[in-house]
Amino acid sequence: MLPYLKKLRHYAGGLPLVSGNYVSSESLIGVNVDPQLPPEDVSFAVVPTFSYFEFIPLHRQQNQQDMTSDGGDFVEEKPAVPLSQVKLGQEYEVVLTTFTGK
């Protein structure tokens, strides 16, 4: 939702915006723990019963010359860690496997 927040606020006028769930086309990932917060302050609790989740730690690039070819400013640090090893404040790329193996 964050990439679209400026446009959403423009079109919503004064209506409050709520970011209820964190979903993908494959699975529900998490639910908003405090729906009254503005979208930029939201935290999500992972719902581990829908899929198996792994998390690839991400670190910001320090040197502009070392940027990846796709223009991103994050570097993946492998290996992926399970939900039980996720650290608060660390940014991750979510990898999920549904229970049907997809």
DSSP one-letter string for 36-87: TS-GGG--EEE-TTSEEEEEEEEEE-S-GGG--TT--SEEE-SSPEEGGG--
- For residue 19, give the 3-state DSSP assignment: coil
Of 29, 9, 34, 3, which Cα lies nearest the Cα of 19? 34
pLDDT higher than threshold 50 for residue 63: yes
Cα distance between residue 5 and residue 97, in whole Å: 29
Cα distance between residue 88 and residue 17, in whole Å: 25
pLDDT of residue 64: 55
pLDDT digits (tens, 9 = 90+) for 83-93: 999 998 898 99
**Whether residue 25 is found in the same domain as residue 56:** no
Among residues 9, 31, 47, which one ends one of the domains?
47
How many structural domains is the chain composed of? Answer: 2
**Whether residue 31 is found in the same domain as residue 60:** no
pLDDT grade for 67, boundaries at 50, 70 and 90: very low
